[in-house]
Amino acid sequence: MSSRPHKLELMASRSRPGRPPHDDVLTPAEWRTVHAVKHGLTSRQIAERRGISIEAVKYHVANALAKLGIDNRQQLRRWHRPPKGSALALGGQMNEAVKFGSIAQIARSVRDIGEAEAWYKNTLGLPHLYTFGKLAFFDCQGTRLMLSQESTAVPESILYLRVADIAAAHRHLSSLGVEFINAPHMIHRHADGTEEWLSMFKDPEGRPLGLMAQAKS
């Protein structure tokens, strides 16, 4: 049996001068960076979103790769394990039969997020949920619409399927030969502690689809 998990835990438990010890395989800053990498963001994009330097991002990525025994960012995007204190790790989702069908979210690209937000809200009258930078979200009677400002229009909308257990759904589809773009990763934590988890995969024609789940401890 490999001794790697034991070594990882030992590495995670060691404290550095001036820093509090962590009982997880990665530090909170490393987890945030890893989730962003799994989402497909570049070091520059992560740095801009988090308000840190590109060198700091690269430092966190290098530390994570070393601790996990992973060679590169591409492998990191397919690695899955929830943070120790996350709702997903604490059993925020039930281990039940995998079911697909419910649409959690539909994504559509727009040329100007301000113009689009005003039109969908004021002209169509869709309930506006929130806006983060170049992303605006609306409620379509239980299905969330995500508008994303892009420099180049995406020709198709992306469907995100709601699942109760994203880890189980990821394992199930992987066992059937489905190609995943990234492993489950946390994309947002709401003020009430609810976590949003996402994993992207491809259909037979190579077009992207998504799995989405919410977990709350």
Whether the CB-CB separation of 80 and 31 falls below 8 Å is answered with no
The fraction of the chain above a pLDDT of 90, given in percent, is: 52
**pLDDT tens track for 176-208:** 899 999 999 999 989 898 999 999 999 877 888
d(CA 170, CA 46): 25
d(CA 69, CA 59): 15
Q: What is the mean pLDDT of residues 8-35?
A: 68
d(CA 136, CA 97): 32
Selection from 87, 80, 88, 36 nearest residue 57 by Cα: 36
- The answer to whether 4-77 and 103-215 have equal CATH topology is no
Residues with Cβ within 8 Å of residue 96, at least 6 apart in sequence: 164, 165, 168
Which has the minimum average pLDDT: 42-51, 130-139, 156-165? 156-165
Question: pTM of the prediction?
Answer: 0.69
Residues with Cβ within 8 Å of residue 18, at least 6 apart in sequence: none
Q: Which residues pair with 159 in a beta bridge?
A: 106
Alpha carbons within 13 angstroms on the beta-carbon side of residue 82 total 23
**Would you kindly state where each structural domain of the chain is located, as residue ranges?**
4-77, 103-215
* Overall fold of domain 4-77: Arc Repressor Mutant, subunit A (1.10.10)
Helix (H) or strand (E) holding 168: helix 166-175
**pLDDT tens track for 68-125:** 999 999 999 999 988 988 888 776 554 556 777 789 999 988 889 999 999 999 998 9
**Yes or no: domain 103-215 corresponds to CATH 3.30.200.20:** no
Q: Please determine, for residue 2, whether its predicted confidence score (pLDDT) is greater than 80.
A: no
- What is the SS3 assignment for 31-58? HHHHHHHHCCCCHHHHHHHHCCCHHHHH
Mean pLDDT, rounded, of the chain: 84
Selection from 155, 144, 153, 136 nearest residue 198 by Cα: 144
Q: What is the mean pLDDT of residues 46-59?
A: 93
Q: What is the mean pLDDT of residues 51-74?
A: 94
